[in-house]
Amino acid sequence: MFIYNVTVTLEKEIHADWLKWMKEIHVPDVMRTGLFIENKICKLITEETETTYAIQYTFREMDDLNKYNKEFAPRLQQDHREKFKNKFAAFRTVLEII
C-alpha cells in the first residue's frame, strides 16, 4: 500500500474557501476516479502565518498512481490552479506504507 501526499501551503485569505472547495469538490473528484481507497486532509501544526495542509490518498499499486497521473491529474490540478491562482504552493510525494 502507498500514500500519494499533496502538501499545499496557502495564503491566509484563501484558507476558508480552499478548505471548503477541497472537501466538497476536489477530494470527491479525486476519489471518483476509483484509483484511491481512502483519503485524509491533515493540517500541519506550525507557528507560521501561512497555513499548510497534507492531503493524503491511499492506493494499492503504483499502476493506480500512474493511471491517475496520466488520465486525471492534469485536469484536476489545472482546476486547482485556476481557482486559487498564485495564492498557494504545492508539492507531491509518494510514501510506501511499511
Inform me whether the pLDDT recorded for 60 exceeds 90.
yes
How far is Cα 41 from Cα 25, in angstroms, rounded to an integer?
Answer: 13
Rounded to 5 degrees, φ, ψ at 7 are -100, 125
Per-residue model confidence (pLDDT) at position 49: 67
The matching CATH number, chosen from 3.90.1580, 2.40.160, 3.30.70, 3.30.230, for 2-51+62-96 is 3.30.70
Q: Give the H/E segment covering residue 67.
A: helix 62-71
pTM equals: 0.90
Query: Would you state the cell numbers that stand for residue 22, as one nine-digit string?
Result: 477541497
Name which residue leads in pLDDT, 56 or 11: 56
Angle CA 47–52–55, to nearest 5? 145
CA separation for the pair 4, 17 (Å, rounded): 23
Query: pLDDT tens for residues 73-87?
Result: 999 999 998 999 888
Task: Kindly indicate the confidence band of residue 70, based on its pLDDT and cuts at 50, 70 and 90.
Answer: very high
52 membership: H or E segment, kind and range: strand 51-59
Q: How is the chain split into domains, by residue range?
A: 2-51+62-96
